[in-house]
Structure 1
Amino acid sequence: MRTRTTTLTLLVAGSLLAAAGCAKEDDEPPSADPAKPRTVTSVAGCGKGSWTDPADLAPDRAPARCSPDTPAPKPLPEERSLTIATGTLSAEYVAPLQMAVAKGEFKKEGLDVRLKVLPTPDALPLLAKGDIDAQWAAPEAAVMNGITSGFDIKWTAGNFSPDPRSKSGLWVKLKKDETASHVPMAGRKLGTMIGKGSVIAYPMNKALKKHGGGLDEIRFQQLGSADVLTALQNGGTDSAWLLDPVWRKVDGDKRYAFLGGQPQAEPLGGLLFGPNLLREDPDAGVALLRAYIRTVNTYFAGDYKADKAFATELAKLLKTDEKVLLSTPSLRMDWEIRAGTTDRLQDAYRAAGVSKGDKVPENKAVDRTLYEEAVGHKP
């Protein structure tokens, strides 16, 4: 989710459009079939706090939560094998999926889930064709272009938002007499391993505009993950988008200023479903989300790193150093999707010059009904 390039985005979009053309020659797009209405019933342990109004964009909004170990499993009549693609298995935001596998939460639903590491260019066409069932990613420019081309892909669950203490985001090296309150950004170089077609374009553009810049007014400098911090420190670039835990290296140093990061209480990624779970077997889609939500409620409901034993277990699961894991605040795991997020993302893609044409309407890109069913919320 976090490391994309503009070239990569255009290549993915091109492959999706080409595949869409082939699909339309053979059959109508899968989304042409109307969705069957589903029955939603109340779920024990998931009361009023298990759903929040998508229109609530308050940064201090508490994420939805059920009681631990809920929603309870509802095993499918027959075991279903599912493949979920993810760009990495070591990043902290993938932890709920990793933990759900390790703790047998998917198994409790009658799901045999395989997590498969696949880069976005490979995973998106496979998702659209039904060769994989879900993708742990984000509604990036390539995804939106794929939906425009006719593929049945929707964002069905969120992943996380940052803790208010997190300073993962845009950092600048201050010039003489500059202060953090206003740093003229227009015309400066920005070193990043994140491309313009990534969802991070949205918070990046928002932070730049507060300081007299914008994605169309800065000079992007594509750098490797190991080079971003070095370039910022030695003057090779003026600013940089620093991820966890790299920003800790400059935090507290008066030569640098933090200009902003991902919006609080607004997830920018999570689970994308293709036709398999959206139309052909939505029961399995709800079961997958039920297991994911139960894992969040049981293991990631609050400051999960405060539990030393769990932090040790998590570090081993992610194959990362425990000290590195504990050097940044816990993420706010959040399965819900805010209203208008895909619109704001598309505005940023346009500002970055990687997306043209009409916007994809939210109802074509987002489906909240499956996670709402999992917690028993009736719209």
Structure 2
Amino acid sequence: MRTRTCTGAPARTTALALLVAGSLLAAAGCAKEDDAPPPEPGKPRSVSPVAGCGKGSWTDPADLAPDRKPARCSAGAPAPKPLAEKRDITIATGTLSAEYVAPLQMAVEKGEFKKEGLNVALKVLPTPDALPLLAKGDIDAQWAAPDAAVMNGITSGFDIKWTAGNFSPDPRSKSGLWVRLKDDETADHVPMAGRTLGTMIGKGSVIAYPMGKALKKHGGGLDEITFQQLGSADVLTALQNGGTDAAWLLDPVWRKVDGDKRFAFLGGQPQAEPLGGLLFGPKLLKKDPDAGVALLRAYIRTVNTYFAGDYKADKAFAAELAELLGTDEEVLLATPSLRMDWEIRAGTTDRLQDAYRAAGVSKGDKVPEKKAVDRELYEEAVGRK
């Protein structure tokens, strides 16, 4: 039987400095007290088999094959295991309208968190604002990504770990790096060195990793292009009118240039490799891991029940989802379903940090994966020994 050892989190006050998008973010605080009884220090956490979660509920983290099937349990699994005492949980997220947030929204809507004894509130907060609150325990989890700010924060002393993935794109998706072709260029090889790239996402975003891969294929690199920070409504316009040479276009914006021979798609997020998801702070990692497992169990059950495959093929569900996200159903259906995936691939945080270095937003030693990633809580949720 695999066991996981949990230790109590002592209260402490730590001065922390964090570089966020070129500015210094300082935060200091103590671990927040709550009413949940802390686990006994050193008490092992036993892991038992979970009905409906067999071999397919786990995949080898080292498997980076682009056609890897995401882990799945049966619909309705893992079944709820209500906590003896109810907990109030706050999850910060940068938006409530993006499709990748849908599993959290649906878990609230369908009462999946409540089945675990969790009263979950989703709070919209930008990552720079949420990160120090997560480290202090003022919020419990964050739906975000291990971007440069997070990794720099861990280096500075933030007790934060990436505990579950979110999604990878469908192979048909062309969300990613698009370039305006010059008269003598083809999509097969586009010299990118020296060009400008318009994006609403800065160099410190996880998108730096796939962006760097795409640029290298075309004779460029993150240190060989000029970034133009643009608003979400301006990125496409700048690309179309020549205000920028290239742009990172998200769903469903890329459809505006798809099929236009003046533009070429150079690459997007790697297949079958989530680049974000749930980040836990000290409370769910150490002080109250029971609540952390319960939260992940509800999230995983929501994926297995509602997002296991091509969820947009169900017209009734697509209509419900569009209403929940506050978006037009036609817009939602214009792009393929995301491949929801709660697992975290081996080496992803290393590859991300390589990209941050190349972009010039991270320095010093790499944060080891074991210090940035915790897979054991979601493994416990699905009963993997």
| Pairs within 5 Å for 1:273-292 | 273-292=280-299
Q: What is the aligned length?
A: 360
Partner of 1:30: none
Match of 1:372 among 349, 358, 379: 379
Displacement of 1:46: 0.1
Match of 2:279 among 272, 280, 289: 272
Displacement of 1:23: 6.3
Superimposed CA distance per residue, residues 215-262 of structure 1 (whole angstroms, 9 cap, x where no aligned partner): 000011111111111111111111110000000000011111000000
Please say if 1:351 is aligned against 2:340: no
Match of 2:330 among 288, 302, 323: 323
Match of 2:21 among 3, 6, 9: 9
Superimposed CA distance per residue, residues 22-76 of structure 1 (whole angstroms, 9 cap, x where no aligned partner): 769xxxxxxxx97653100000000000000000000000000000000000000
Match of 1:19 among 22, 27, 30: 27
Please say if 1:306 is aligned against 2:313: yes
For 1:19, what is the secondary structure of its paired residue? strand
For 2:45, what is the secondary structure of its paired residue? coil
Kindly, what percent of the aligned residue pairs are identical? 87
Contact 2:19 2:152 survives alignment (8 Å): no
| Cα separation, 1, equivalents of 2:93 and 2:171 | 26
Contact 1:203 1:261 survives alignment (8 Å): yes
RMSD: 1.5
Partner of 1:61: 68
Superimposed CA distance per residue, residues 253-310 of structure 1 (whole angstroms, 9 cap, x where no aligned partner): 1111000000010000000000110001000000000000000000000000000000
Partner of 1:116: 123
> TM-score, normalising length from structure 2?
0.91
Unmatched runs of 5 consecutive residues or more in structure 2 = 1-17, 32-39
| Cα separation, 1, equivalents of 2:257 and 2:199 | 16
- The structure whose residues are more often helix, as a share, is 1
Partner of 2:98: 91
Partner of 1:165: 172
| Cα separation, 2, equivalents of 1:35 and 1:140 | 31
For 1:135, what is the secondary structure of its paired residue? strand
Displacement of 1:359: 0.2
Q: Segments of 4+ in structure 1 off by > 6 A? A: none
> TM-score, normalising length from structure 1?
0.93
For 2:149, what is the secondary structure of its paired residue? helix
Partner of 2:182: 175
Alpha carbons of structure 1 residues 367 and 34: separation in structure 2 relative to 1, 3 Å: farther
Displacement of 1:10: 3.3
| Cα separation, 2, equivalents of 1:35 and 1:137 | 30
For 1:60, what is the secondary structure of its paired residue? coil
Contact 2:19 2:149 survives alignment (8 Å): no
Match of 1:241 among 231, 248, 251: 248
| Cα separation, 2, equivalents of 1:41 and 1:322 | 41
Unmatched runs of 5 consecutive residues or more in structure 1 = 1-5, 25-32
| Cα separation, 2, equivalents of 1:138 and 1:37 | 29
| Cα separation, 2, equivalents of 1:60 and 1:371 | 22
For 2:179, what is the secondary structure of its paired residue? strand
Displacement of 1:121: 1.5
Contact 1:342 1:365 survives alignment (8 Å): yes
- The structure whose residues are more often strand, as a share, is 2
| Cα separation, 1, equivalents of 2:201 and 2:382 | 34
For 2:27, what is the secondary structure of its paired residue? helix
